[in-house]
Amino acid sequence: MAQQTLSQARAGISPVNTGIAQGYQNAEFVGMNLFPRVGVGMRAGKIITFPREAFKQYSNMQRSPGGATPRVQVGYASGDYGLIDYSIEGTLPKEVREEQLAPEKGFTIDGATMAINNAMEIIGLRLEIAQSTLATTLANYPTDNKTTLSGTSQFSDYSGTSDPVQVFATAKEAIRSQTGKQPTVAVMGPKVFSALQNHPDVINRIKYTGRDVATTELLASLLQVPRIIVGEAITDNDAGVSSDVWGKHIVIAYTEIGTLANRGRPTYGYTYNLNGYPMAEAAYYSNNEKTWCFPVSSCEQAVIAANTAGYLVYNAAA
């Protein structure tokens, strides 16, 4: 990417920088598999939720000439969403830029892209944490769509009492019986994935496959969920102590990617995203710090649209 001139920097929104921001995708972020991004035109609106109308049978569907026809509403607006604006600036000190452009190095490091990507990683991690918090909160699920494991029932206990296959079977049936759909994805923390890889039941079931280690693909086949995804992202608290964003939990869900227009699908969740975001404004030069600044903004909110389309296994591993 060519460096901006001062006149370009003062122009306002930067299409080039916004292209970098919108194209940035950290491989560690997996929340969009549960909450696919859906573009909206306003910062506030109604959440599309899904009643059980499609499962009902109506006694008056048979009609005589001129008779009334029953009507059904398969999706409706219920509850409000309110998008929140988030902004942060990536920086590129003048001295660093000069070093990057030094001709004797024989190459040019694109400091602008690096600054924007660093800012986008921070904004993306914020959303990943928000999605994880929403998906792993027990209060967000009805009674039949959650379980808490402890002691010998946790997948990390290999004494013979924990049963991952049965836990997944229970979760799948809970979703199917309430939505008519089999779950499409399971997102889990890395400690849960490690516990499953080393679980005696899993090892015994894959020993004839010629594989020594259970991959996500093998586990998906074994547990009969199309996709198993491991959330590898970590976050640091103020004391610098790291923790896994997705904790020790599993979220199993039926998620239909990009189905806002199809109001009859009981999709687990969405990430409502203001059209045109994430967005990067044009870079500007701060004379006081002698630093180029690259503002990046997002405007979004993750929501659970149908909690019966999800199932939470809380504390799946110790």
* Residue 3 half-sphere exposure toward CB, CA atoms < 13 A: 16
pLDDT at 51 over 70: no
pLDDT tier at 131 (50, 70, 90 boundaries)?
A: very high
Identify which has the larger pLDDT, 208 or 229: 229
C-alpha gyration radius of the chain: 24
Mean pLDDT of the chain: 82
The CATH number of 6-52+76-314, from 3.90.1690.10, 3.50.50.100, 1.10.10.60, 3.40.50.2300, is 3.90.1690.10
CB 79 within 8 A of CB 140: no
pLDDT tier at 5 (50, 70, 90 boundaries)?
A: very low
**231-266 pLDDT tens trace:** 999 999 889 899 999 999 999 999 976 544 444 466
3-state SS string over the chain?
Answer: CCCCCHHHHCCCECHHHHHHHHHCCCCCCCHHHCCCEEEECCCEEEEEECCCHHHCCCCCCCCCCCCCCCCCCCCEEEEEEECEEEEEEEEEEHHHHHHHCCHHHCCCCCHHHHHHHHHHHHHHHHHHHHHHHHHCCHHHCCHHHEEECCHHHCCCCCCCCCCHHHHHHHHHHHHHHHHCCCCCEEEECHHHHHHHHCCHHHHHHHCCCCCCCCCHHHHHHHHCCCEEEECCCEEECCCCCEEECCCCCEEEECCCCCCCCCCCCCCCEEEEEECCCCEEECCEEECCCCEEEEEEEEEEEEEECCHHHEEEEECCCC
pLDDT tier at 6 (50, 70, 90 boundaries)?
A: very low
Mean pLDDT of 115-123: 88
Among 47-56, 117-126, 162-171, the least confident range = 47-56
10 Å Cβ neighbour count for 156?
A: 19
**Model pTM score:** 0.81
Identify which has the larger pLDDT, 27 or 132: 132
